[in-house]
Structure 1
């Protein structure tokens, strides 16, 4: 290949004005190792090996796209692309050779092109512009019903409700820290990985739950290896005991505190401390120490039930497994489904019943999901992709069905393979 030269992963960026070296996918594929990461954005090749540790979204998030075309993920997560490109420029080491396709592997080039056209149409329709009035009313609603504050902090993490991202981040710190007692940095570190690689083991924290629960492909793997740490064929039953009741009370509390201490997020720690101070000082005169502790546990268990059922009804019943290196639209559609909209469902789920639209366009304010949904349905129909919509109760029951199915698959592989 004429003009192809492969500098080492730490030799620096391409020289300004000099012709860019060209690379083929076979060369790029080799650079997906710890400390050696390349990725492709808009047909340009970047060496992020050293810079990944300084990535504002965390090294894991950007590292999950190592040796891939990350163009659609880049556009999905960043609001001001021109601003972000300034950080990418020093990392530029070359570009794809002209004869190379924009995506590696047997991907549907027409689907990628059509999705990018859909993304541009959504931008032209201003569907990524948030309505301050909507979120002002929502904040008032949340201050009256704090259990729903997961929804607002979720939106603040994704969408730019304020014109200045700095104020958006401050608002998220307030809602996440003062109203919920958790770290905004921890939540973004965890949740953005889920959006980047939904339902992918070791990249999506929400499904990397073995050995407590086995989901998707892990069922066969554990069965073949004769691993039996728990009675997985009964996991759909013990799920009710340790899943919804304990996620925020135990798992999130421990993981959140460990993250703040290890990553030295002292500002987030102060925000979280302000929540606990407000909570205990408010109720201590009425209930005493034992009563306040019991009340705190009751609140966490209640919101944990809401969180697990609402967030997982769109994901656990879908495909769960190892990295398939799909294009952005295909990977998001394979891992998500919608729940039939209604006034109650939209309110109760915080519009997360539109999970397909939420995953395809994570920066889009949720009040616009219903407007972009017809365009997404048309895209899916054109390319023969599944656009699954379930009744609300069916979606909840499917969580249990999926756990039972995975447990039965594990038992069959454990006994017979």
Structure 2
């Protein structure tokens, strides 16, 4: 039976027995680009779905699902949804057909053998229980962060606000906040509790009451990062490009040829360590209020205000408003430094480009690398030293990354994929090195392009 087209874009599908067959070329025409920005189809397990309207209602955010318009989203769907059977019920009304029998299960440009092997690996990982969490581990991670938070206040309460207790409190407060950050990351990825709703509630609490941020904003931004890591205009973590930094060879050359010079990028490796965390600190605080107000997230805004009122009531009576502002903003700046170096050591040195529509495994490996395992590295990075495993299995509890790492290495070796792992110091140095190289690519293109 020859492939058929002619589906009316935007109209609800009549149900699963549509009977229409499509080719990958036809599906690629519905990518939400050009003259058909609201025309979006995607493929999940050979089924074709019209998300032209649904993307606006998608619980995970409109952009993350739209990034797969015109593409195969099977592995992304599996990675993001813990209870696939429940979610598939909502796909029923979006189904408009399926791939024609003569069409491969993935786009012809992708490695079907690698994809099939990864599906087998995912089934093995699930069967071995690596997607199930160890509750005592997460209880310990919460308690140790909470005790550090309390210790920061007790230090000021008992010793006063002279320099030694002040800096001690700053250190304790910073560590508590970064560990809360790793914990909210766990809840945000639905990797702690079996039920999604319990993860969402815990995420809402930790992010709002303990960190002073909106959980929905984190989901909106971070899910996109995982869906299309290091893909310019699809990964929000690249949003500072090109205002402050130029990242990766293709984008640096493009920026240079266009004679764009917002900053002296040839020196970006020198100003990154100060300007990046300073900008991030200010940008995030402003973005929090802008996001909650623009999107009318009033409950989350209320929790953010509760957080700020709480810390003021805890510290201002003990040390005065000015000293508290010094403690709070110094801690936020240090936290931003910690977070940026940890998060970017796995990504900035890797391939950065526009979306090349790679298969799930190749896309994650080209954009991520690991850092050596040790007790300190695991704690200091929130287990994000296993960034490869985290990106391949976003809902996996972090205490299981080391268990699945040998299986991932075997998959990479079988298909000739590079599995990068380095020391913590090398990972930090590679950030500076890659920024320097990108600046040189920009400068050469700017002067001679």
1:106 pairs, out of 105, 109, 118, with: 109
1:202 paired to 2:233: yes
Distance 1:288 1:228 in 2: 43
1:59 paired to 2:75: no
Distance 1:411 1:3 in 2: 50
Structure 1 residues 206 and 3: CA distance shift in structure 2, 3 A: closer
Output aligned runs, 1:223-234, within 5 Å: 223-234=256-267
Output aligned runs, 1:146-185, within 5 Å: 146-147=176-177, 148-185=179-216
Q: Deviations over 1:239-259 (max 9, x none)?
A: 122112341x21111112111
| Offset of residue 19 of structure 1 | 5.1
> Equivalent residue for 1:78?
81
> Equivalent residue for 1:120?
123
Contact 1:130–1:159 (CA<8 Å) still a contact in 2? Answer: no
Structure 1 residues 337 and 160: CA distance shift in structure 2, 3 A: closer
> Equivalent residue for 1:29?
28
Distance 1:160 1:412 in 2: 45
> Equivalent residue for 1:87?
90
1:187 paired to 2:218: yes
| Offset of residue 83 of structure 1 | 0.6
Q: Deviations over 1:122-163 (max 9, x none)?
A: 000111111111111111011123221110000000134223
What TM-score do the two structures reach when normalised by structure 2?
A: 0.91
Distance 1:384 1:229 in 2: 39
> Equivalent residue for 2:4?
4
Q: Deviations over 1:191-215 (max 9, x none)?
A: 1110000000011011232121100
Gaps of 5+ in 2: 149-175
| Offset of residue 82 of structure 1 | 0.7
Distance 2:14 2:270 in 1: 57
Q: Deviations over 1:110-132 (max 9, x none)?
A: 00000111011000011111111
Moved over 4 A (4+): none
Contact 1:339–1:354 (CA<8 Å) still a contact in 2? Answer: yes
**Aligned-partner SS, 2:98:** strand
**Aligned-partner SS, 2:236:** coil
> Equivalent residue for 2:278?
245
> Equivalent residue for 2:269?
236
| Offset of residue 2 of structure 1 | 2.3
| Offset of residue 327 of structure 1 | 0.4
1:284 pairs, out of 316, 319, 331, with: 316
What TM-score do the two structures reach when normalised by structure 1?
A: 0.97
Aligned length: 415
> Equivalent residue for 1:333?
365
Contact 2:256–2:444 (CA<8 Å) still a contact in 1? Answer: yes
**Aligned-partner SS, 2:219:** helix
Distance 1:384 1:14 in 2: 44
**Aligned-partner SS, 1:243:** helix
Bigger mean CA offset, 281-290 vs 323-332: 281-290
